Each structure stands twice: as C-alpha cells, then as structure tokens.
Amino acid sequence: MHVAADMAKVSSNPRLSERVSQLLSNMHLHEKIGQLCQVSGCEGHVSEHLAQQVRDGWVGSVINEVDGPTVNYLQHIAKQESRLGIPLLIGRDVIHGFKTIFPIPLGQAASWNAELVEQAARIAALEANSVGVNWTFAPMIDISRDPRWGRIAESLGEDPYLCSILGAAMVDGFQGTDMSESGQIAACAKHFAGYGATESGRDYGTTNIPENELRNIYLPPFKMASDSGAATFMSSFSDLNGVPASGNRWLMKKILREEWGFKGFVVSDWESIYQLEIHGLTENSRDSAQKAFNAGLDMEMVSTTYREHLEELLETKQVDIAQVDHSVGLILSVKEQLGLFDKDCQSPDTADAFYQQESLDVAKQIATQSCVLLKNHNQTLPINAQETQHIALIGPLADDGFEQLGTWIFDGEPQHSVTIRSALESACPSSVNITYDRAMATTRSYTTDLYSQALASANQADVIVMCVGEEAILSGEAHCRADIDLPGSQMELIEKMAELGKPIVLVVLAGRPLTLEPIIEKVDSVLYAWHPGTMAGPAIADLLLGEAVPSGKLPVTFPRKVGQIPLYYNQKNSGKPATNDQYIHMNDIPPRSPQTSLGMAAIHLDTHFSPLFEFGFGLSYSQFTYSQLMLSQHHISRSETLEVAVTVHNTGDWDADEVVQLYIRDLVASATRPVKELKQFSRVHVKRGEHKKVIFSLNINDLSFYNDEMQWTAETGHFHLWVGGSSATTLQQGFELING
C-alpha cells in the first residue's frame, strides 16, 4: 500500500510541456495570478462582472456552475474572448454521484468493493462532465474515528488501508487512464490533512495529532492518492498542531512535495486562506496570502487574498515570481491533461448521460453491497413473501426519496429516487398486504399523535419493518451531534412496537454510526443502510425479501455509548489493557469498596469496553467458518513475500459473498503498534456448502511503519496474523521478520 517514501527530496517539478511553457512565458502577471483564483459561479447566470473578469484573464476556475449552457458561455469567453484563450476548470462537489446518487461514501466503504466504488465514480464523472464540470472535490479520504463528526458520512471510515484502497479507486474512476477523454474529470484528494481528528467531533475544530500518528494513520490514504495520480489536493480548514493546514508548509512542501513528489496542484478549501487570520495565524489577509502561498497552496477557493495581494507581495519580494510560475505551471498542466486546450469545451445541452440504466444498476448493486446486517435473531430476515400476508411498513424514512440520498447531493433529484416503500410494493406478490404508516413527521419529531394508527396497523401484521435513522441534514459538513442516539422519539416508537410481540426488522438510514444499544434487544433484525442513494428501495427490498444476501462489513466502529468515543479497532494496547476478567460494571461494585479493589485496566465503569459492533463486522443470511490458516513460512526476510492461505466454508443455506479480512500485529517495535491492522481483504463469492481457499501475500511494505524517529521501516521481530470475517477474528498464526 505504501511505497517506501524516500526521505530524500523527490522532484515535484513536473516537466512542463512545450505548450504550457510557451503559454507561461507569454502571460502577463495578472493573468498568472488569475490562474491561481477560483471564483464562485452564479448558479445559471453570468454577471457582466464575472464575464469581464474571465475575459480579462483574472479567473482560472469557477466553482458551483453546473448549468450546461452557462458553463459553455463561460468557457467560450475564456477560450475565444480572452487574450490567451486559457480554458477554465469547472469545479463541483461530486461526492457520491452527480444525478444518479450512490450510497454516501461511508456506505460505499461498507461494500469493501473497490471495483464497484470505481465504477460509481466513473459514472459520476460521466454525468458531471456532460454539463461541463471537469473537476470534482472528491475523494474525501479523511480518516474518521469519531461518529459525532458529521463529515464521517463523506469519509471512507476509520482504517488507513481500506480508505487508501477505496480512495484510489475513486481517483481512478474519476480520472480514468487518460483525463482528456470525454467523461473523465480531475479528482481532488481532501482534506489534507488530519481533519477527521477534530476535537469532540465538532467540525472545523482543532486537531492535535502527533507526527507518528499522522504518518501512520492519517497520511497513508493521501499518499496512495498521490501515487495514484490524483490531479489535485485540497488543504483542510483545520488547525493542525497549531498551524492550520492551509498555511502549513511542513504539510504541503515537506510531505507532499519533497517526500511524496506530488505533481498536481493544491487548492484551498472554501475561504480557508482568508480564515488563517481568524485562526490567529496571520495579522491580515495580505499575511494570509503570503503564508498560504509560501506554504505551497497553489489556488485560492473563492476568497480573494491572492487576487488582492500577490502583486504587492511580489513587488516586496515576500513572494517569489518563480513560485508563482511553478503554481501556474501546475494548474495549466492539469488543464492540458484534461485536454481543455484541444477541446471546444462546449458540452451538449442534453441530459442523455443522466440515469442511464447501467448507472442505476451500479447504484443498486453498490447500495445492496453497502448494507450491513448487524443482527438477525431467529433468522427473521429474509421475509418469505410467499408465507407472509401482511407487512407493516413503519417510519419516517420508509418512503422519502430525498432523505435516502444523504448529504452532499447538490445535483441529486429526489424525484428519481426509488423508495423502500415503492420497491417493496413492486417486489412483493399481490398476496402480501403492505401497510405504510410514517408514524413521525420527521426523524426529529417528538409528537406521538400518529403512533396509534401505526401501532394498529402493526398489530395486524406478520412482520413489522421499521425504517428509522437520521434525515440527511443531520450529517455532512458542520452537522455534528454530541448525542448519536436515534433522534426524536424514534426509540420510544420502537419500544411501543416491541410491546406488540411481533417480529421487528429495523432498517436504519443514517450518515454515521448511531448508538443503538438502547433498542438493539427490542428488535429481531437490524439492516444498516447508511444513506443508500437513488436506488435505496430496490436494494433494500431485495435484501429484505432474500433476492440478495447482505454482505456489507462495517468500515467504522459502532460504540455502545457516545462516551466511549474515540473507539476504534486499531487502538494501541496500553500498559493495562481492558480484559473481561478485570471488567466490573459500576452497578456491581459493592458499596464502600476500597480504591484498589477494581480491575485496574483501561475501562469505563458504566459500560463494557467493547464496541457494540466492531470494525469489519457484518452478518450474512448464510454462515461462514474459517480454517486451515497456513503461512508459506514462519520466518521471512525483508526481501521475501509471505504467502497466507485460508479456507472459507459456507456452512449455511445461501450462496453468498464474504469479505475475508487479514490483520497483523507487530508485537514489539520502537514505537507502539496497534493491536490489529488491516493489511489485505478480498470479497469472495462462496456457494452454500462450498469450501473456498483464499490466498493473500504480504511483503515488507505491509510490515512497515513510521518508527519513533519518523523513518519508514519494518523492524525485525514477531508478528501475529489473523484472517476472518471481522476485526474480532481469533483465527491466528505467527511469524517472525528476520534480517537478511
């Protein structure tokens, strides 16, 4: 996953093409500064002011313009009416689909299917490019260990390896092998870096991340994105160890350029350069421009400090023209890679690219594979439609085409959504009576006046399917929660439904892990669907009725209580790790117990130290057993590859997919290592009764980490290795890395 970073300087000066070099040499200073400026579009209208700015060469990029004819007009001005005819980058947040909406990225991550994630990104790029968008601000690859943070919804979860693999897949989907081809757009790895560690899960907060943790946990997905050829990066809003990322030279010069040799360009987040003054890093916007530009931030998103101050900063030699030329060269090179100089940049005024059947099929497939079966008591699922007369469909999210799309869907259209209700009604035979009661106006309602009707319907049913969770607005940017229970009176509704004594299937649509412990014993089955997008209904209906088998695995830990956060699987062992034999619940402590009587371990007195559901967990309708975990050898040298084999046996009654996961632990090292680290995974299809042998291979890079001296290295010594269907797997082997 990680090519050993040569700590020596790596050239990040891409050789400019003849065309770009020639263009650069002909540019006036204000035209160069113009390329470093991204301005906001006017949603389908081009003011004369904006038109003149483009005509005069003061604009390199426009964000949030997606009206095809308007984009065409802007590009026409840039290419035909400006002095040098430099085309525009048209940027948009195409985070999990443009028109066809796929599951939120956290849901896509639950599919553990890089190929599908890449397909989804390719389709999103095709649809966005059809209106002239040529740059997306995705993938968001911030490691997210805190479900209070609203932006966990946009992330690919808590694990560096899974996030790296899926983030690279998105880059490949957006950019393809040749960005100049129609339907490909430039990717943007964001938010560089460490944003997900924001204190208490409040957005835009302070992040204090020791360099060793930054290098081993938060940076790997960005390194992978850089190695995968991501055309651009975006700097984060967040304060990183006292130096906000958007003014952090160590991050954008030493790491990104010198160590990684990144050859694209870096764009700020929305006004994040201007915000350096608010952070208290700079005196004024002039200082902000100087700090950010000299830290390596090439393009300014929407704020105007570069536009206003770079010329003066050049005159006073506080900024070097060579750096300006370097940044302009990087931006022009991306435009050239996109083929913008050779295209007419006039998109066809049609919607043909939207909602193609192939796109909807991929949307349904990834939504199906992203749903995680967390509980299935008494095999309540799947529902046998042939033997069921009445399904009571209950809840505020059962028939809501908007909420199922999730956060960050600027261009999604709810009218194209297929809801759970409509899909179930289509999929069930006419013999099945499906009643539907919303029961609550929204997921945040506290009024219970609709309960009685819902309870009456449910009381007549053979099975109750409750669709609960969070509205889309409760996650995403700046939408953080200090309490992550089901909002409103949903838990009360579940309690009342449980009193009926009927089988209850809970379908949860949410943008984050929720603390389900209060209700988990009240229901028989839980299918966690995240926000599944346009095709939520057909995907969930297939799973509920057994037309598809759940195969999703959690990309993030589910805590029992919010007070456990941060809680993640790849934690350090500490000197007094929690163990069951030392655990005692607060309520079981004898009165007046002496201070030293309790298990002195890393626990909370009022909740068990384990998660409610662990990273990598997910049930199937079938069952899998793992055996014959074999290593090619138990002593390997640095130059050798370790082959790992395991046999997966489908002991259940369903042909099904299983995500086989491989974890290691470096038992002793110069810096403490996590108790488990995901290093490989493979989604395999195993027929009922079949035994399938799965092979992995590990090399020295898989055993390497940044040590106490920030050196990328693998240290000799003993390792444990596990393979299984979740991070809780106990099927273990050991090996030793030896010198040689």
Residues that bind ligand GLC (CB under 6 A): 93, 137, 190, 269-270, 477
Instruction: Calculate the CA dihedral of residues 681, 686, 690, 694 and round it to 10 degrees.
Output: -20
Nearer to ligand GLC among residue 188 and residue 539 (C-beta): 188
User: Quick check: is 657 catalytic?
Assistant: no
In the complex with ligand GLC, the residue whose CB is nearer, 477 or 517, is: 477
d(CA 472, CA 82): 42
CB atoms within 10 A of CB 633: 12
Q: Which of 662, 667, 669, 671 is nearest to 722 (CA)?
A: 662
Burial pattern 378-388, b for ≥16 Cβ within 10 A else e, equals eeebbbebeeb
- CA dist 240 and 269 (Å) reads 15
Q: Min. distance of Cβ 522 from ligand GLC in angstroms?
A: 37
CB of 190 vs ligand GLC, minimal distance in Å:
6
Considering the complex, state which of residue 304 and residue 380 has its C-beta at the smaller distance from ligand GLC. Answer: 304
Tell me whether residue 93 or residue 300 sits nearer to ligand GLC (CB atom): 93
CB 418 within 8 A of CB 535: yes
Q: How far is the CB of 271 from ligand GLC (least distance, A)?
A: 8
CB atoms within 10 A of CB 335: 24
Pick the closer one to ligand GLC by CB: 137 or 306. 137
- Closest to ligand GLC by CB, 56 vs 203, is 203
Select from 628, 625, 640, 645 the least CA-distant residue to 699: 640
Burial class (CB in 10 A: 0-12, 13-18, 19+), 500: middle
Residue nearer to ligand GLC on the CB measure, 136 or 489: 136
CA 629 – CA 636 distance, rounded (Å): 17
DSSP state of 607: B
Length of the chain: 740
Least separation in angstroms between residue 58's CB and ligand GLC is 20
* Nearer CB in complex with ligand GLC: 39/526: 39
DSSP string for residues in 249-316: HIIIIIIIIIIT---SEEE--TTTTTHHHHHTS-SSHHHHHHHHHHHT--BEES--HHHHHHHHHHHT
Type of residue at 727: S
Residue with tokens 């309790």: 598
Residue with tokens 């055993």: 703
Smaller CB distance to ligand GLC: residue 413 or 477? 477
* Closest distance to ligand GLC from the beta carbon of 65 (Å): 12
Would you say 188 or 523 has its CB closer to ligand GLC? 188
For residues 204 and 577, give the distance between their C-alpha atoms in angstroms, rounded to a whole number: 32
Q: How many Å is the Cα radius of gyration of the chain?
A: 27
Provide the residue type at 377 as one letter: H
Peptide linkage before 193 cis (omega within 30 of 0): yes
Work out whether strand 239-240 and strand 390-394 pair parallel, antiparallel, or are unpaired: unpaired
Two tokens at 598?
């309790």
CA atoms of 76 and 85, how far apart (whole Å): 9
Rounded to a whole number of angstroms, the minimum distance from the CB of residue 404 to ligand GLC is 22
372-376 β-sheet, strand order: 372-376, 525-528, 504-509, 463-469, 390-394, 433-437
Q: Shortest distance, CB of residue 412 to ligand GLC, whole angstroms?
A: 15
- The tokens describing 661, both together, are 């996961």
Q: Are 272 and 237 in contact (CB under 8 A)?
A: yes
Q: Which residues contact 612 (CB under 8 A, 6 or more apart)?
A: 515, 516, 517, 520, 558, 559, 560
- 631 CB contacts (<8 Å, ≥6 apart)? 642, 643, 644, 721, 733, 735
Min dist. Cβ of residue 167 to ligand GLC (A): 14
Which residues on neighbouring strands pair with residue 734, listed in sequence order? 720
Report the nearest approach of ligand GLC to the CB of residue 223 (Å).
Answer: 20
Q: Could you tell me the two tokens for 385?
A: 């439609």
What the block records as the tokens of 131 is 């209106």
CB-CB contact of 722 with 662 (8 Å)? yes
Q: What share of the chain is helix, strand, coil (3-state, %, to 5)?
A: 35, 20, 50
Taken in order 276, 280, 285, 286, the sign of the CA dihedral is negative
If the CB atoms of residues 269 and 437 are measured against ligand GLC, the closer one turns out to be 269
Residue 277 vs 715, nearer CB to ligand GLC: 277
CA dihedral 448, 449, 450, 453 (to 10 degrees): 120
Which residue out of 67, 159, 269, 399 is catalytically annotated? 269
Bridge partners (DSSP) listed for residue 645: 630, 695
CB of residue 422 to ligand GLC, shortest distance in Å: 32
Instruction: Please list the residues that pair with 393 across neighbouring strands.
Output: 436, 465
CB of 154 to ligand GLC, least distance (A): 7
Between residues 57 and 105, which has the closer beta carbon with respect to ligand GLC?
Answer: 105
- Least Å distance, CB 622 to ligand GLC, is 39
Output the smallest distance, CB 700 to ligand GLC, in A.
35
Residues tagged active-site: 269
